[in-house]
């Protein structure tokens, strides 16, 4: 079993967590873990979108990015089978 620790949250957050746990029939720890994982994924996507938006604002660098994408896309038609 994973090591645990204590985290302080507001009563409102605790109540919401308890309600979600009850409704999903899962322990509060599992619900919280899933929520953090979802938040982390969303945060990474938002940061990636911001980075691409910044890159698009630099025409020369964006052109290099598009050129690299085209090079990689050509490998899709190389006739090789995917490893499974």
Residue 3 φ then ψ, to 5°: -70, 145
pTM for this model (two decimals): 0.70
Q: Which residues are CB-contacts of 61 (< 8 A; sequence separation ≥ 6)?
A: 55
Residue 2 φ then ψ, to 5°: -70, 150
Choose between 22 and 71: higher pLDDT.
22
Choice among 46-50, 66-70, 72-76, 79-83 with the minimum mean pLDDT = 79-83
Other beta carbons within 10 angstroms of residue 31's beta carbon come to 19
Other beta carbons within 10 angstroms of residue 65's beta carbon come to 13
What tens digit of pLDDT does each residue of 11-24 get?
999 999 999 999 99
């Amino acid at each position: 079993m994973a090591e645990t620790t204590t985290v302080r949250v507001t009563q409102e957050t605790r109540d919401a967590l308890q309600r979600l746990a009850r409704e999903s029939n899962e322990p509060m720890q599992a619900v919280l873990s899933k929520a953090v994982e979802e938040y982390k994924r969303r945060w990474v996507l938002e940061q990636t979108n911001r980075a691409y938006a910044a890159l698009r604002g630099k025409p020369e660098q964006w052109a290099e990015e598009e050129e690299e994408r085209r090079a990689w896309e050509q490998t899709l038609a190389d006739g090789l089978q995917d490893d499974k």
